[in-house]
Amino acid sequence: MADEKTHAEGTAGFLFEMGVLKNAKRTGWWFTGNNNPESIAEHSFRVGIIGAVLAMMEGVDPARVALMCLFHDTQETRIGDIPHIGRRYLDAAANETVTADQVSAAYPAVRDGVQRVVEEYEAKGTPEAVVARDADKLECLVQAVEYRAQGNTLVQDWIDTSLDSLKTASARELAAAALTMSPLEWRRTFLG
């Protein structure tokens, strides 16, 4: 019974820790002059949506992709959102190591499941992992297009870097469409 209580508390602690992502900002956007960028949780939510959509377009498992997308940045509660420019100077622990620490006290099924999802994403070896990684980059591109539409003119590097890293035909197709339209284009279907 003591093990069950310990695992319940360890799992609940993980859930509380994930709440930190709702307040932690994506710091790379600060370099564009954006003083109030999206949170890591906001980013991860849309990465999950994009991942599921891309998976459907690519004919791979949308649930697996969305799950990888949901957990792809959970480590940032411990190491923060290190901008790409900063990674050159830091030797951070691997995401798999951070994840193992985060879920070490959780129920064994939770611990093993979360670790498996993060390991698959980081290994980049399955079609689902490739799609999940594309979803992360495509979300960055879409967010940059939105920030540009709001008057932030310093986002082109983020757009270019994201575009250059896309691997799937579906992600490249959606990126091309996103770059040629207003972020409010979706309203046309509502407004007729």
| Residue spans of beta strands (DSSP E) within 98-153 | none
| Structural contact between residues 60 and 127, judged by C-beta atoms closer than 8 angstroms | yes
Q: Does 71 reside within a domain?
A: yes
In a domain, 192, yes or no: no
Determine, yes or no, domain membership for 94. Answer: yes
CATH of residue 161's domain is 1.10.3210.10
Neighbouring-strand partners of residue 25? 39
Tokens 């992992």: give the residue. 129
User: 39 has which bridge partners?
Assistant: 25
- Predicted local confidence at residue 181, as pLDDT: 94
Which residue is listed with tokens 């007729």?
192
| Host domain of residue 100 | 2-184
Structure tokens at 55: 């998976």
Identify the pLDDT of residue 1: 62
Does some domain include residue 189? no
Residue 47 amino acid letter: V
Amino acid at 184: L
- The rounded distance, in Å, linking the Cα atoms of 29 and 145 is 12
**Is the residue at 190 inside a domain?**
no
Number of domains in the chain: 1
**CB distance 135 to 175 below 8 Å:** no
The CA–CA distances, whole Å, from 54 to 15, 134, 144 equal 27, 8, 19
Q: Which two tokens stand for residue 1?
A: 């019974």
Please check whether residue 92 is in contact with residue 82, taking contact to mean a CB–CB distance below 8 angstroms. yes
Let me know: does 38 contact 25? Beta carbons within 8 Å.
yes
Ranges 27-31, 71-75, 93-97, most confident: 71-75
In this predicted model, what pLDDT tens digit does every residue of 37-90 receive, in sequence order? 999 999 999 999 999 999 999 999 999 999 999 999 999 999 888 877 787 888
Helical packing angle, 40-58 and 62-71, nearest 10°: 160
Query: And the tokens for 101?
Result: 């620490």
- Within-domain flag for 92: yes
Mean pLDDT of 113-129: 98
- The answer as to whether 157 is a domain residue is yes
pLDDT of residue 191: 76
Asked whether residue 173 carries a pLDDT value surpassing 90, the answer given is yes
- pLDDT at site 95: 92
DSSP state of 25: B
Residue 34 resides in a domain? yes
